[in-house]
Structure 1
């Protein structure tokens, strides 16, 4: 087979198929391959008019169709299946060729794969791709990792097929080895938080405010014309306005209230714990999904719903604006937690990640695209060492303005028995970071008492231990060799 394709895509499920079509639409000749040949045939028959496709029936034919250096995009299920496909094709490649994993792989797996293939002279690029099937076809946000050399060859192609905002591509080289998949994982963690916060705002408007789903759809449409403008706010309005054809009921009322997940939110929380990164709003959003799906626990506790003596009667007393302010402030906190986590990982793994560029490429194509991402980009551009959004003057002023409404909304929800775990976690995170003193001092005392884990003092340097069981409880310094 003649080597005529600039890139190849193996794995032609929805995402792989649409990325292949996107590449072909943008003028590239695309080799296509799938373990099930029928998918390859169906793609060419249905969409062959969109561009130049080279169907390949075997891995050998697929590789032979690719121009050097070969660029091979793998779009298969994360985990063992990815390892199998990588090994199968790596055996057919030569030094200088590159394999791109565009799936939702765990970044630790990407680091392992990149290291192993580098030793064989093959470039491995773990690339996050966000935007779902529509984004894959019409322009996603793309987050490639891997070597700088691989991006010089691959980058122009990825930038061309990505979404564009203000003439800029929603694609950039994130960093070496697993940086791209790490940033995509955090994107999905923020997505969990964003969706949970929006859902809590809906719940408050309905359960406390007494609004119907159709009325709340109108409220969300109004919000989408202001500072909350985003893809998720927009589609929320559409979901809430939808009426079930079979029953005539609001669509949201005929859907089971048990949310599913594919694991990236869980990975975000697990990785945050490893890094010591406080992503509390993201974590609560992930746990809220877990709790919603634990039907055996919910069924066991459902009888408690009839006993409302623990709920304090309280009128809403809040305008829609109050809830808008609480939602906006909570979203800023959740996004800021994601950026903090990326910064922590960059320090841990030696990645040189441009935090402003991350905001730039998330402005279009991806699920969490939102108007205020441009402000996050600008904030990091103006101050490259920015510690966090709460240290930026305009964001700090907006949070301060929202604070009374935010506190009141969370308090009202608590009094009315309406769960708002992500709203509450975001507010607690804000209060934690700005407190002069935290009860962690007591925790340090407890740890020293039962485990001699030592503590540090506020009035002098060094680590200390109190001999709690001895008379007078003497204190000794432990970092000077003292007994």
Structure 2
């Protein structure tokens, strides 16, 4: 992604200095792509820094964690006040906050920047989410907006907020991505098991869906993947891929932060746990021996209705994932003082990034109608479309349970929907239990204050 981002900048007319710890990679970039713009290759980090005009604008694209710290430690002594260092990797936002504080003492701007779109996006136009100071964005904004993806002429880049805001938003983007991918996988499995359909047949269903309101990059590539045949075996490609999904940590960070903030991002959490479960091969094998599949058939009687039910359940569950993600961003913005514009986040995710989808236009419109929208799902448009999908959603989750098919993201999303719309839920009993065994107190619905009942005594109630 680093080399492609450099090529993107050069293609847009920016003189681009490049340096890699392995000089052979720098030479290879010049040999293969040197005619795409003006590059200044450097053999040492000192030469690299000296080649830059002030204020120096340096973009780091290395592995998150210790490697990023190592590069910053090497750069810092060579820089001057006013210079700008951009970390465009998948950093954990607390690391960004820490790094910014260290470099701020040296007068150096540190800008944690989320970049989404993979290698192709980096080259042809990614979605870019810069944090840091507004002063730094004055210098970086024109460049980043120029090289970003464009939708309806608008750049998929905007200033996100101070400190770690840029990397935080990218983290939540990735959490939504986890949920989106898991939901698509569950839809595939339901279609496979329910219809007995081949991968290629299901690929055609996804291609059809991509022509409607589910139009998105992930649906598009799913249709392509399912139509692909393995050259070595002649089997559907998806059938020869190991069923243990990898992860690099952003999903876990999102879930951990959701717990810290007290935001119920249940769909994202279930998707993250589903990846973890997929990798527990010894445990899965033990469970398969202990609880073998009975082999009972599942004969869907109305093929087209079933396909439509899965489509509607997928759409409604996706709305839940995005709604939860935007609530997490909103709560983080409030607690960390970032002042993030939620509508702008939806807008810059419309192109370039992995979760780009048609309905991000609808999300942008929802926040334009009400910038203080407390719950995305409650926007009139989404309330109507999700409400219309509920019967199909319930049928699909019921069918999955009845036939022993794991659909954790579908099921948890439906449970969230039912939980969030309840005017009164059973948490009242939990509060009573906590007071009973731990004197943790409770609130009443008829008068203010916190109360405790003397459960082991005469059961009198006391205002605390």
Normalised TM-score (structure 1): 0.94
Match of 1:113 in 2: 99
Residues 1:398 and 2:403 aligned together: no
Q: More deviation in 371-380 or 381-390?
A: 381-390
Match of 1:263 in 2: 249
Coordinate RMSD, CA, aligned: 1.3
CA distance in 2 between partners of 1:304 and 1:249 (Å): 30
Match of 2:25 in 1: 39
Displacement, 1:304?
3.9
Paired residue secondary structure (1:20): helix
- 1:192-341 equivalences in 2 (<5 Å): 192-308=178-294, 315=300, 318-341=305-328
- Report if the CA contact (8 A) 1:314-1:416 is conserved: no
Q: Which runs of 4+ in 1 moved over 4 A?
A: 311-318
Match of 2:86 in 1: 100
Deviations 1:172-230 (A, max 9, x none): 00000100000000000000000000010000001122221111111000000000000
Displacement, 1:306?
2.8
Paired residue secondary structure (1:319): helix
CA distance in 2 between partners of 1:366 and 1:258 (Å): 24
Gaps of 5+ in 2: none
Q: 1:57 aligns with which of 43, 47, 68?
A: 43
Instruction: Decide whether aligned partners of structure 1 residues 312 and 46 sit closer, same or farther in structure 2, where only a CA change above 3 A counts.
Output: closer
- Report if the CA contact (8 A) 1:19-1:137 is conserved: yes
Q: 2:59 aligns with which of 59, 73, 88?
A: 73
Match of 1:345 in 2: 332
Match of 2:372 in 1: 385
- Report if the CA contact (8 A) 2:194-2:298 is conserved: no
CA distance in 2 between partners of 1:307 and 1:231 (Å): 34
- Report if the CA contact (8 A) 1:313-1:415 is conserved: no
Match of 1:25 in 2: 11
Displacement, 1:308?
2.8
Displacement, 1:319?
2.3
Displacement, 1:315?
4.4
CA distance in 2 between partners of 1:26 and 1:361 (Å): 20
Match of 1:357 in 2: 344
Paired residue secondary structure (1:419): coil
- 1:148-159 equivalences in 2 (<5 Å): 148-159=134-145
Paired residue secondary structure (1:91): helix
- Report if the CA contact (8 A) 1:312-1:415 is conserved: no
Paired residue secondary structure (1:461): coil
Match of 1:407 in 2: 394
Residues 1:454 and 2:441 aligned together: yes
Deviations 1:153-175 (A, max 9, x none): 11000011100010000000000
Displacement, 1:151?
0.3
CA distance in 1 between partners of 2:456 and 2:289 (Å): 48
Match of 1:4 in 2: none
Match of 1:7 in 2: none
CA distance in 1 between partners of 2:65 and 2:179 (Å): 25
Paired residue secondary structure (2:274): helix
